Structure 1
Amino acid sequence: MRTCPQAAGRVIQFWIVERMRLAQGDGIAVEGQAPTPGTPSGTPFGGWINDGGACIDITDLNPPPSGAEVFSYFQRLPLPQLTTQHQPPGDGLTGLPVIFYTDSPTTQTFTVDIRGFSVVIEATAESFTWHTGDATGQIITTDPGAPYPDQTIEHSYRSGTYAAYLTVTWGATFTVDSSAEADVPGTTTTDGPPVTFDVLQARPVLTNPYD
């Protein structure tokens, strides 16, 4: 195996150039050898002809993955589906807002092989869309919320049964073979599993304290 001088950031390999004769017409010799009679024009014949070899810089034949190429991989990664938590954990009450948050991981690292390059993708949850399950629609935030007493996401309901879930928009950065970090040019989303709960109507009842 031939070895070639190397240069930083370049891929240099020893390549051998070979070619094969092509029939030019019935019985016409090519480089001292004639094809079998009846061989159609353009058909390879004979053995390979070795034209020698040389050290060649092939870096441009396999360039590092572009941002667009990394994005196509990013869209197919098994990103986590964040679970919606709510308080109170059972039934809610009208007049008492339901608190939403998620305690699922909001960052994840993936290492993928793209054409022989080691690409590290660091995914981060950038925004959270809380589907409340009622006519008001959605609450969009940039934080995952928190449980009581540090809650940041609340929603008030009328009495009824509701199913809420969370859509997360993910962004990412990437490195190629430990290169400088760059942004993945695009985002992708995941939908978490729904959580179903009842909101009850509390009614005051007068009682005789002496009964």
Structure 2
Amino acid sequence: MGGWLSFARDCVDITALNPPPSPGEVFRYFQTLPLPELVTQQQPPGNGLAGLPVIFFTDGSQTTQTFTVTIRGFTVDIVATATGFTWHTGDGAELTTTDPGAPYPDHTVTHDYRSGTYTASLTTTWSGTFSVNGGASADVPGTTTTDGPPVTFTVLQARPVLTNPYD
């Protein structure tokens, strides 16, 4: 046994031992957020008519979502924004847009069908920004998607009939 050794007492910066979440870490959390599965809506509601376009849209009020998560003790605010919409029309076509569509008369997403029964759905692409402990905002490095529930509708064939208006 030897003599006593004297050590100085100093404050140690432990920031390097627990750095703020990296963009990759935030992306892993981003992919697991409970983002809404946006519902496909169509006009006319119920049945459509062959030769007339079916209008597609979804609830635009749900296209921005804000979440606060804790990652290793850091408060991370994530703002997810729907940036892409892929409408699966049910007849093999896909319509890709950057807006959620709108009902008549402001419609922006339409598709023409032949008569038959179709099941349409919507895949939404989400991108985001994040900030750590109220700091500067940065982009989440990647996107994630959600699939909305399918909606089934029938497109009917209308046939014109000439009549005598004086009968």
Give the TM-score normalised by the residue count of structure 1: 0.73
Q: 1:179 aligns with which of 135, 158, 167?
A: 135
Q: Which has the higher contact order (CA 8 A, sep 6+)?
A: 2
Q: 1:192 aligns with which of 132, 148, 158?
A: 148
Shift of residue 55, structure 1, vs aligned partner:
1.6
SS of 1:60's equivalent?
A: helix
Distance 1:54 1:171 in 2: 44
Q: 1:99 aligns with which of 38, 50, 55?
A: 55
Equivalent position of 1:160 in the other structure: 116
Pair 1:76 & 2:32 matched: yes
Distance 1:179 1:209 in 2: 74
Distance 1:160 1:55 in 2: 75
Letter in 2 for 1:122: V
Shift of residue 76, structure 1, vs aligned partner:
0.5
SS of 1:166's equivalent?
A: strand
Shift of residue 54, structure 1, vs aligned partner:
3.5
Shift of residue 53, structure 1, vs aligned partner:
5.0
Letter in 1 for 2:73: G
Distance 1:62 1:53 in 2: 22
Equivalent position of 2:14 in the other structure: 58
Q: 2:71 aligns with which of 97, 114, 120?
A: 114
Runs of 5+ unmatched residues, structure 2: none
SS of 1:124's equivalent?
A: strand
Shift of residue 103, structure 1, vs aligned partner:
1.4
Which structure has the greater CA radius of gyration? 1
Shift of residue 205, structure 1, vs aligned partner:
2.1
Q: Sequence identity, in percent?
A: 72
Letter in 2 for 1:159: S
- Backbone CA RMSD of aligned residues: 1.5
Distance 1:206 1:111 in 2: 64
Deviations 1:89-116 (A, max 9, x none): 1100011100001115100000000000
Bigger drift between 201-210 and 77-86 goes to 201-210
Equivalent position of 2:97 in the other structure: 141
Bigger drift between 137-146 and 199-208 goes to 199-208
Shift of residue 122, structure 1, vs aligned partner:
0.2
Distance 1:93 1:116 in 2: 56
Equivalent position of 1:14 in the other structure: none
Runs of 5+ unmatched residues, structure 1: 1-30, 33-50
SS of 1:57's equivalent?
A: coil
Give the TM-score normalised by the residue count of structure 2: 0.92
Tell me the matched-pair count.
162
